[in-house]
Amino acid sequence: MPDRPANSPFIRDVPAAQALDAWRAAREAAGCPDRLPAVTVPVTEAGGLVTAAPIWAVRSSPPFDAAGMDGIAISSADTLGASETTPAWLPPGAYTVVDTGDPMPDRRDAVVMREHVHYDDAGRAELRAGVPPYQHVRSIGEDVSAGELLLPEGHRLRAVDLAAAAAAGATHVSVRKKALVFILPTGDEVRPIGSETGPGQILDTNSLMLAEQAREAGCEARCLPIESDDPERIAAVVRESAADCDLLIVIAGSSAGRDDYTARVVASTGTLVVHGVAVRPGHPVVLGVVGQTPVLGAPGYPVSAALTFDIFAVPMLAELSGAPPRQRPRATARLARKLASPLGMDDWVRVRLGAVGGSLVATPLPRGAGVLTSLVRADGLLVVPAGVEGHHAGSSVPVELLRGLDEIARTIVAIGSHDLVLDLASSALRADDPMVTLASSNVGSLGGLVALRDGLCHIAGSHLLDPESGEYTLPYVDRVFGPAAADVAVVRLVERSQGLMVAAGNPLGIAGLADVCGPGVRYVNRQRGAGTRVLLDVMLARLGIAASSVEGYAREEPTHLAVAAAIASGRADAGMGIMAAARAFGLDFVPLATEPYDLVVAPGALESPQLAPLWALLRSDRFKASVEELGGYSAKEMGRHVRSPGTF
């Protein structure tokens, strides 16, 4: 390891493939086992394990010629020339009644299905067609013959494999032991799940997540106690734990902060191979070897930790088991919006997917390494290679699927303005039918209309106020779609109260919009193109207030909840939003306006089966009541067609 300052951020940014190769070479040099040991287990307990030796058939399946149907076993020669007009009559001694699976009697070489046999009073069987030899007979060894290779080494055993092995006489099989993965959380700020946390403290959710990822990869996983930021103590635990597991994952401490010790600990207790990879998120990963055990230093941000496991741990664990890593299916999708990406790094982007106009559409989710919910909501992963700066909206990109195409096909894709009612609708739709998903992405009302025009979503949430006409949404639909606006439908979702969200108790005494210009009032805004931003600008203009006089006007957040969170945390004093968002964070609310919030529907989609569950939900009295319980909403006009196709 080269000399470097104690807090040197990274040795270098290593491409992921190169980092894996270097890690593999270091494991070989340290004498790490290239395969997990073989163990013999009952075939009944081998599901999901990987074969350590071939499985050979020790008996044939079936082990005898067997009847393949319920009926009678006969000699096919006795039916020669039989027809409807000249049937063959077999006396009782010339046939044997059999059930499926029975051994074939001697001198019988065919079975006639029970429903094709007619009997006379003397018990003779009438056959009205000739029967070929071995009709409805399963020959000995039809499935597998004794001595035949059934399964090779390096095969992950599935349910059907176990059944076939048992049928071929296997009672025990040789398999690779499950890899044992230890997970070591570190950090003074980390607390066990279920603990009460104070300022600056976080729950140890990473251990839970990584342990389950390890189990999904076919491993055993054990979470170790949380260690504080004491490098000597961490080093002692690393030495001790590495001797008892097949992979040690150290969580956090992999970056370059004052209390980031993982790289230093790995270097002092073993071999530090890589510190810093050209991957985003997951950049500050640590790869090393302690004794004869590989060590992975996972970043503390949850998305980074999860992707680090997928990129580095999964292929390494697959190598140990001697089986190929489990591959997710892939597909091609169109990007719903422009995606920028830094050069020099593989950029792993989480996306939501839906089928729009006969093709998949991918909408990028928030990309922060700490945004765990982006993994929860993701339907797929898009990797932007290191040498690509990004993709334009509408570009075709390869995606790795995290959900099945049948589920994705029933996803309603909504892009546009943020509203809590869409989140509520998503939950209600899923509760009614687990195959239906409403996936909404927040890019502002105008961005949603553009995405709808470009065929990248089914519906766009909009509440854009036109300053000249005083109308909402419709003037913008006409401008964005032009002549095609005649084919666009607009459906009322709700009317809602917009106003100023302020800290609980309204300590600054803000009574109206003019007060946000007061000294020391920090405002937080919505992004350009959002309907709330347009409403703010219109109201400021009516009051003769310049945007430049509002402290914080340039500070933008993408949703009402994000604005509310900024105020609740004390980072801002006021921001325009909906009453439901203020309630969610325990804020006070100063109402300023009541506005409609509409769903703009893609041409031809109003009557599509894909959107039918949504329209049914909007007719539900129970759903309307749940919306109004949020506060600041009226569902009186929910579902009304503000504009239908052909009324332009």
Return the pLDDT at 255. Answer: 60
pLDDT bucket at 311, cuts 50 / 70 / 90 = very high
Predicted pLDDT of residue 143: 83
Query: Mean pLDDT across the stretch 418-422?
Result: 89
What is the pLDDT confidence band of residue 5, given thresholds at 50, 70 and 90? very low
Question: 10 Å Cβ neighbour count for 117?
Answer: 17
Neighbour count for residue 171 (Cβ, 10 Å): 10
> In this model, does residue 140 exceed pLDDT 50?
yes
Q: Which CATH class is domain 66-138?
A: mainly beta
pLDDT bracket for residue 106 (50, 70, 90): very high
Check if the beta carbon of residue 351 is closer than 8 Å to that of residue 382.
yes
What pLDDT, on the 0 to 100 scale, is given for residue 80? 93
pLDDT tens-place string over residues 202-248: 899 999 999 999 999 999 999 999 999 899 999 999 999 999 999 99
> 635 pLDDT exceeds 90?
yes
Q: Measured between alpha carbons, how far is 466 from 294 in angstroms, rounded to an integer?
A: 61
For residue 594 the two structure tokens come to 């009541």
pLDDT confidence bin for 332, thresholds 50/70/90? very high
Query: Residue ranges of the domains in the chain?
Result: 16-35+178-321, 38-61+143-176, 66-138, 346-442, 452-643
Residue of 119, 117, 140 whose CA lies nearest to 128 = 117
**Residue 26 backbone zone (phi > 0: left; psi -120 to 50: alpha; other: beta):** alpha
User: Is the pLDDT assigned to residue 611 strictly greater than 60?
Assistant: yes
The pLDDT tens digits of the residues spanning 428-464 come to 999 999 899 998 888 889 999 999 999 999 999 999 9
pLDDT score, position 7: 40
Same-fold call for 16-35+178-321 versus 452-643: no
**What pLDDT does residue 333 have?**
94
pLDDT greater than 70 at residue 1? no
Mean pLDDT across the chain, nearest whole number? 91
Q: Does domain 16-35+178-321 have CATH number 3.40.980.10?
A: yes
The pLDDT score that the predictor gives to residue 4 is 44
Q: Which of 143-147, 173-177, 481-485, 623-627 has the lowest mean pLDDT?
A: 143-147
Structure confidence at residue 345 (pLDDT): 87
Give the pLDDT score at 363. 87
| Contact criterion met (CB below 8 Å) for 266 and 333 | no
Name the least confident of 60-64, 368-372, 549-553, 557-561: 368-372
Mean pLDDT throughout 532-537?
92
Class of domain 452-643: alpha beta
Pick from 478, 465, 591: nearest CA to 533: 465
Mean pLDDT, residues 405-421 taken together = 89
Kindly tell me if the per-residue pLDDT of 257 is higher than 70.
no
**In the predicted structure, residue 366 carries a pLDDT above the cut 50:** yes
The DSSP element (H or E) to which 180 belongs, if any, is strand 180-185
Hey, which residues does 438 pair with through a beta bridge? 412
Query: Higher-confidence residue: 253 or 610?
Result: 610
Geometric angle at alpha carbon 99, from 97 and 101, rounded to 5°: 130
pLDDT at 376: 79
Give tens-digit pLDDT for 29-84.
999 999 999 999 999 999 999 999 999 999 988 899 999 999 999 999 999 999 99
pLDDT of residue 375: 73
Geometric angle at alpha carbon 349, from 346 and 355, rounded to 5°: 135
- Whether this model's pTM surpasses 0.95: no
Q: Say whether pLDDT at 518 is over 60.
A: yes
pLDDT, average across residues 80-91: 94
Element spanning 596, H or E: strand 588-601
| Mean pLDDT calculated for residue range 99-116 | 95
277 within 8 A of 295, measured Cβ to Cβ:
no
Selection from 452, 355, 457, 436 nearest residue 401 by Cα: 355
Superfamily of domain 38-61+143-176: Molybdopterin biosynthesis moea protein, domain 2 (3.90.105.10)
Cβ-in-10-Å burial (0-12, 13-18, 19+) of 556 comes to middle
**CA angle centred on 355, ends 493 and 373, rounded to 5°:** 70
- What is the share, in percent, of the chain residues with pLDDT greater than 90? 72
Instruction: At 255, list the tokens.
Output: 């970056």
Give the 3-state secondary structure of residue 304: helix
